[in-house]
Amino acid sequence: MVTTDTAPLFDRVAIVGIGLIGSSLARALAEYGIARQVVCADRNPEACAKALELGIVAEATTDLAAALAGADLVVLATPVGSFATVGEAIGPLLKRGTIVTDVGSVKQATLRDIGPHLPDGVHLIPGHPVAGTEHSGPEAGFATLFQGRWCILTPATGADRQALARVTEMWRRVGSTVEIMEASHHDRVLAITSHLPHLIAYTIVGTASDLEEDTKSEVIKFSAGGFRDFTRIAASDPVMWRDIFLNNREAVLEILQRFTEDLTALQRSIRWGEGEQLQDHFTKTRAVRRGIIDAKQA
Amino acid sequence: MVTTDTAPLFDRVAIVGIGLIGSSLARALAEYGIARQVVCADRNPEACAKALELGIVAEATTDLAAALAGADLVVLATPVGSFATVGEAIGPLLKRGTIVTDVGSVKQATLRDIGPHLPDGVHLIPGHPVAGTEHSGPEAGFATLFQGRWCILTPATGADRQALARVTEMWRRVGSTVEIMEASHHDRVLAITSHLPHLIAYTIVGTASDLEEDTKSEVIKFSAGGFRDFTRIAASDPVMWRDIFLNNREAVLEILQRFTEDLTALQRSIRWGEGEQLQDHFTKTRAVRRGIIDAKQA
């Protein structure tokens, strides 16, 4: 559900980092009339040139100060690992009343790395649109990316209510359903629904690519048996994922430990021919799929 | 590409086990005029009744002898773990010249468990259509399941050339591309492209379903971040997969060992904050996806 028949929410939105998510949001904000003007900053001049060429922003610059001048909303859409540096750089440029949000997949890192750099009267509303594709760069974005998806906001205790309401409304207007939760809880839930699956997919595809050349070509040929789904996940942006793992280390390592224990148990059942244990386990996992279908997330 | 303007290849095909694959093949053989008559045997009377109700077979019976009488092709479509028992049961019922094939996901097991029970003059052509869905049962099948998919045949040295040619042609007519390879090689390639991905998916979904109830409901809610793809794989038939792991034990344990080593290395990089190693690994896996897209398997 996209609403276009209401007044713009923001005068000037500055998006920092014009990759898949940044450029999708830029498109949506302009197309749905959510912002009067959308500009972007990116340290890569080629990305800026591309964004202008695509016509998705009014201005694109490598100069943060130029992009942020007059912005009432700043959206950080760079890899999570850059947040401390970006926070330090934008802090002095922000005027009172500006709202700062982000789209990072780890949320405690936003509060930790951006929060301390913001002057009084600037409102931080960390956000995570649970949406994406395995493609990267400004040309990979599209305005409908967020439709029917969740966006999780993790404001700190005492965050400005009006700022929260405006960021919530922005995501609602691009088609998302907003959920508000604590940053630490977000990081734990996403560690299992997203971070661990990506780590596993990256691992298995790496294992396959280390096989002898002739076997590897057959792995590609017969990839439809399950492997193919993993390669799609494992084609996601390497820098973005490096930063996610490094910045959600505790939660990822904790869930990885549980996963490894469970895998070892299944491995042992296979080795010792314990058919009943295997069948019981495989029957139980069917029920989880059922839950996802019932929750209309399939 | 489905060919219907040629004479039937077989007079009477008996399919043993009328689940997803058996019922899909029954439909395709009848609809595309590949067999004059398709019948089935299943030890479950309800499956037989369902197959008759769906109108996908001319006869359905729990009596193997009745189904096999007069069949010039017998297709075993039961879980791989039943093959020794099924082989023993069908051996005495087969007349000279009959062709026996199967659709099992492990191929050394077919040669080992079915081969010794077949009388002289009965031709065994083991087969594996690399196709399927996460659904089970006769009602889940459809005639087009095999179109554009691979079918791997693994005849033993000295297998009858004419029998091989007829089984090859059958799969070609249902729309598959046939590849012939050694059973042991098949089992090694499929261990990585299919068996390991399924084991991993079953594990991660099991790990999630052991979480506390409130986290679990959120895992289902936010499953779109990668987890959802795993739940689809982990909803596949439990008995079929139990039998695959028990019957391809060596190849699965070998590739699982490599996978675990690789996962442990990544885990260590996360723990010690080795960003460069992570990024290098994630960049390498992108190339494998590229290979799959180039091979038109994506």
Q: What is the pLDDT of residue A295?
A: 76
- Nearest Cα neighbor of B125 from B143, B148, B98, B95 is B98
pLDDT digits (tens, 9 = 90+) for B83-139: 999 999 999 999 999 999 999 999 999 999 999 999 999 999 999 999 988 899 999
pLDDT exceeding 70 applies to what percent of chain B? 97
pLDDT digits (tens, 9 = 90+) for B1-34: 555 558 999 999 999 999 999 999 999 999 999 9
Of A207, A246, A292, the CB nearest to B273: A246
> B44 to chain A nearest CA, in Å?
19
Q: What is the pLDDT of residue B22?
A: 98
Of A193, A229, A290, the CB nearest to B225: A193
> A238 to chain B nearest CA, in Å?
5
- Nearest Cα neighbor of B73 from B95, B57, B58 is B95
Mean pLDDT of chain B: 94
Cβ contact, residue pair A209, B287, below 8 Å: yes
Q: What is the pLDDT of residue B84?
A: 97
CA-derived radius of gyration, chain A: 21
Asked if the model's pLDDT at residue A1 lies above 70, the reply is no
Asked if the model's pLDDT at residue A269 lies above 60, the reply is yes
pLDDT exceeding 70 applies to what percent of chain A? 97
Closest alpha carbon within chain A to B185? A215
Average pLDDT over residues B51-67: 98
Asked if the model's pLDDT at residue A119 lies above 90, the reply is yes
Q: What is the pLDDT of residue B5?
A: 59
Cβ contact, residue pair B207, A291, below 8 Å: no
B125 and B114 Cβ atoms separated by less than 8 Å:
no
Instruction: List, as one string, the DSSP characters of B103-171.
Output: --S-SHHHHHHTGGGSPTTPEEE-EEE----S--SGGG--GGGGTT-EEEE-PPTT--HHHHHHHHHHH
pLDDT category at B207 given cuts 50, 70, 90 is very high
Q: What is the pLDDT of residue B228?
A: 87
pLDDT exceeding 90 applies to what percent of chain A? 82
> A209 to chain B nearest CA, in Å?
7
Mean pLDDT of chain A: 94
Which chain B residues are within 8 Å of A287, Cβ to Cβ? 209
> B177 to chain A nearest CA, in Å?
11
Q: CA dist A298 to A231, B220, B237, Å?
A: 20, 10, 18
Closest alpha carbon within chain B to A209? B288
Average pLDDT over residues B45-62: 98
B35 and B166 Cβ atoms separated by less than 8 Å:
no
Closest alpha carbon within chain A to B268? A253
> A272 to chain B nearest CA, in Å?
9
Report ipTM for this prediction. Answer: 0.90
Cβ contact, residue pair B260, A263, below 8 Å: yes
> B34 to chain A nearest CA, in Å?
26
Asked if the model's pLDDT at residue A70 lies above 60, the reply is yes
Please give the structure tokens belonging to residue A72. 């009432």
Q: What is the pLDDT of residue A35?
A: 98
Q: What is the pLDDT of residue A98?
A: 98
- Nearest Cα neighbor of B51 from B71, B78, B24 is B24
Cβ contact, residue pair A224, B131, below 8 Å: yes
Q: Pick the residue with more confidence: A217 or A30? A: A30
Asked if the model's pLDDT at residue A292 lies above 90, the reply is no
**E strands within B159-268?**
177-180
Number of Cβ within a 10 Å radius of residue B270: 23
Cβ contact, residue pair B232, A298, below 8 Å: yes
Asked if the model's pLDDT at residue B213 lies above 90, the reply is no
Cβ contact, residue pair A258, B233, below 8 Å: no
Closest alpha carbon within chain B to A204? B259
Cβ contact, residue pair B207, A285, below 8 Å: no
Domains detected in chain B: 10-181 (3.40.50.720), 185-294 (1.10.3660.10)
Q: What is the pLDDT of residue B93?
A: 97
pLDDT digits (tens, 9 = 90+) for B158-172: 999 999 999 999 999
Which chain A residues are within 8 Å of B250, Cβ to Cβ? none
Which chain B residues are within 8 Å of A271, Cβ to Cβ? 249, 253
| Least confident window among A3-17, A42-56, A174-188 | A3-17
